[in-house]
Amino acid sequence: MARKKGTHILLELWGCPKILLDDILFMKKVFEKSCKASGLKKLWMKFHKFNPHGLTGLALLSTSHISVHSWPEYNYVTIDIYACDDKEKVIKAAKIFVNELKPKRVKKTILKRGYIVK
């Protein structure tokens, strides 16, 4: 019997406003909103601002993680949301990132992770 352990969504967003992709406070708010609205439990977050632009961030979840890396100079950001939780929570979290970052183009890849065969 096989059992799925998690859902991993990989987002690539093009055409996002540069100002949003370079703003750590904004990105922290998006992470908080995404976790709260989806029901994913955040344990802690850490962000780093690059010079002259861009940022990277990670939220450790009780069931895995959310990460972000931005390239404001290209209006581009990547986001990974991986959780061993209800698939709908992961999908809802991804929708919030897309809505808040206002991309012109989105590529979303959904992976089923951690298949355990017994």
Outline where 65-107 has alpha helix (H).
87-101
Residue pair 7/94 in contact by the 8 Å Cβ criterion: no
Active site residue 69: yes
Active site residue 84: yes
Which residues, at least 6 apart from 49, have a Cβ–Cβ distance to it below 8 Å? 22, 24, 55
Active site residue 16: no
Annotated active-site residue in 8, 64, 65, 67: 64
Instruction: Supply the residues annotated as catalytic.
Output: 64, 69, 84
